[in-house]
Structure 1
Amino acid sequence: MDELKLVVAQAFKVRGKARLTRAELAFALSLDLKWFSPEESKSVINAGLKAGLLTEEDGRLTPAFDYKAVDVPPGFRPGKEIFTKSLLERLEVLLVNSGIEATSVRGLIDKKQAELCQLVTPEVAGLIIARERDLEITDFIDEALGQLMKG
């Protein structure tokens, strides 16, 4: 299971509420669980929003999944690599969180690339799939463009 999903689930479990302010969630991540610094906690929250694991409405964050059904392993502790996932990995997480089976995501990306005669990168194919599913991809576009410009 995605590490970020485990982090979000455990933070809501430790707080015992299904809706939290950003400050409450950051408090859970940094002080209750002692997993992140306050600044890192803000980054985790933003990553959760970008990945589609969290929704925000009226200043409150809500998990976009059944956090109570997530079994966080005893002794689980997230690594710092939670902040360093590649664009493709983050797009794959976004697609899985939208309801696509994890085992199917890479195949869908490969298929989209083939449909486009291999003229796009896997990242761009993932963005196209996400857009076709009406997922929010704004935050990924600049990064993908930057990769294309370097390429």
Structure 2
Amino acid sequence: MSLRSAVAAPFKGRGEGELAESEFVVALSLDRDWFSPEQATRLADIAVGEGLLERTNEALVPTFDPADTTIPEGFVPDEELLRRRSAFEQVLDALVADGIDKREAVAEINELQQRLAVTIEAAAVLYARRRDIDVNEAADRALAELGG
């Protein structure tokens, strides 16, 4: 969820539906002092890779409504966001963002994995889809990681 909050912050702060990548970087590095410019650029790349942002005509456009994202008072994103998350972590974050208890989700995903003899990523995607949660980006990534 903190990745979504970090990505939403520049759009909410500027009240824009799209930002030039340089504006996004300035908002995260200079305006908020959360990251260095290089780290902010890396965050944009990760957000694009995880389907939270799209690059169009040298602009970044969120694939979600930033206005619906709560940025807690005093929120400061962790540099851990700068590492690429696994497909499983992406699905788990989507589940938690939809209000599903993390421990419950992990337990049920593990049970599915054992019962169906599939990868943890496949079980997580199935679990999310059964709850009508869109995890297509993570599903595509999990499939690509399998060589499919």
Compute the TM-score of the two structures, normalised by the length of structure 2: 0.70
1:71 Cα deviation (Å)? 2.4
Which residue number corresponds to residue 121 of structure 2? Answer: 123
Which residue number corresponds to residue 78 of structure 2? Answer: 79
In angstroms, what is the RMSD of aligned CA positions?
3.3
C-alpha separation between the residues in 2 aligned to 1:30 and 1:64? 22
* Contact 1:55 1:61 survives alignment (8 Å): yes
C-alpha separation between the residues in 2 aligned to 1:7 and 1:29? 8
Which residue number corresponds to residue 135 of structure 1? Answer: 136
Matched residue pairs, number? 140
C-alpha separation between the residues in 1 aligned to 2:92 and 2:75? 23
**Structure 2, unpaired ranges of 5+:** none
**Structure 1, unpaired ranges of 5+:** 147-151
Indicate the SS of the match to 1:62: strand
Letter in 1 for 2:32: L
C-alpha separation between the residues in 2 aligned to 1:47 and 1:96? 19
Equivalent runs, 1:93-108 vs 2, <5 Å: 93=93, 95-96=94-95, 102-103=100-101, 106=106
Compared with structure 1, are the counterparts of its residues 91 and 65 closer, same or farther at alpha carbon in structure 2 (3 Å cutoff)?
same
Which residue number corresponds to residue 47 of structure 1? Answer: 46
1:83 Cα deviation (Å)? 2.5
Identity over the aligned pairs, expressed in percent?
32
* Contact 1:30 1:37 survives alignment (8 Å): yes
1:127 Cα deviation (Å)? 5.8
Indicate the SS of the match to 1:55: strand
Q: Does 1:60 align with 2:56?
A: no
* Contact 1:48 1:54 survives alignment (8 Å): yes
Compared with structure 1, are the counterparts of its residues 53 and 108 closer, same or farther at alpha carbon in structure 2 (3 Å cutoff)?
farther
Compared with structure 1, are the counterparts of its residues 91 and 34 closer, same or farther at alpha carbon in structure 2 (3 Å cutoff)?
same
C-alpha separation between the residues in 2 aligned to 1:135 and 1:124? 12
Compute the TM-score of the two structures, normalised by the length of structure 1: 0.69
* Contact 1:130 1:136 survives alignment (8 Å): no
Compared with structure 1, are the counterparts of its residues 21 and 139 closer, same or farther at alpha carbon in structure 2 (3 Å cutoff)?
farther
* Deviation string, structure 1 residues 10-35 (Cα, Å, up to 9, x no partner): 11122221111222111111111111
* Contact 2:46 2:84 survives alignment (8 Å): no
